Amino acid sequence: MLEAAPYRQRSDSRRMAFQLLFSAEMNNLPADILFDEGYYCEEIGLPCDFSRLLFVGACEHLGRIDQLIADTSIDWQLSRMPLADKAILRLAIFEMLFVDDVPIGVSIDEAVELAKEFGAQEKSPVFVNGVLGRIAQRIEENAKGLAPSTDASNLTVLEETTDD
């Protein structure tokens, strides 16, 4: 088991979590293998607690997060989305849904900054901002009257309902 590095600023922690998510996708490796066999970026050190929380949490909720991305990204199939953009979105959506002490706007701003630095295309920041903005709107619309929660049942609030 890895020992977490001393405190890092959350922006650096997000960058590390993004790099882990990207590596997992690129190398088709599960989260536990990345940690157990040291596939993280050694030049920036061991993942701190916040990086691990974001990375492992995004991996644990990947199916639901990917469904939100697919439902929200206009004219983009998840399978054709650039890996960097997809990793940034996964990270931010997990944070928006499950990390109560980070405002949604901060998660979006941090994701846009990651897209500026690592995005696959010039328009990646705009794309990331648009998808996350639509998800934030859905969260706000569906969470009226609900207390924030970090359990997975909160995700069911985001599912579309139809009146039959």
What is the per-residue pLDDT across 53-62, written as a single tens digit (0 to 9) for each?
999 899 999 9
Domain spans of the chain, in order of start: 10-146
Instruction: Report the pLDDT averaged over residues 117-141.
Output: 92
Of 21-25, 84-88, 143-147, 156-160, the poorest mean pLDDT is in 156-160
Whole-model pTM: value is 0.78
User: Would the pLDDT of 64 be above 90?
Assistant: yes
Q: How confident is the model at residue 97 (pLDDT cuts 50, 70, 90)?
A: very high
Structure-block tokens of residue 86 = 């997809």
How far apart (Å, rounded) are the C-alpha atoms in residues 151 and 154?
Answer: 6
Alpha-carbon distance of 38 to 112, in angstroms, equals 28
CATH tag, 10-146: 1.10.940.10
Give the model's confidence band at 149: pLDDT under 50 very low, under 70 low, under 90 confident, else very high.
Answer: very low
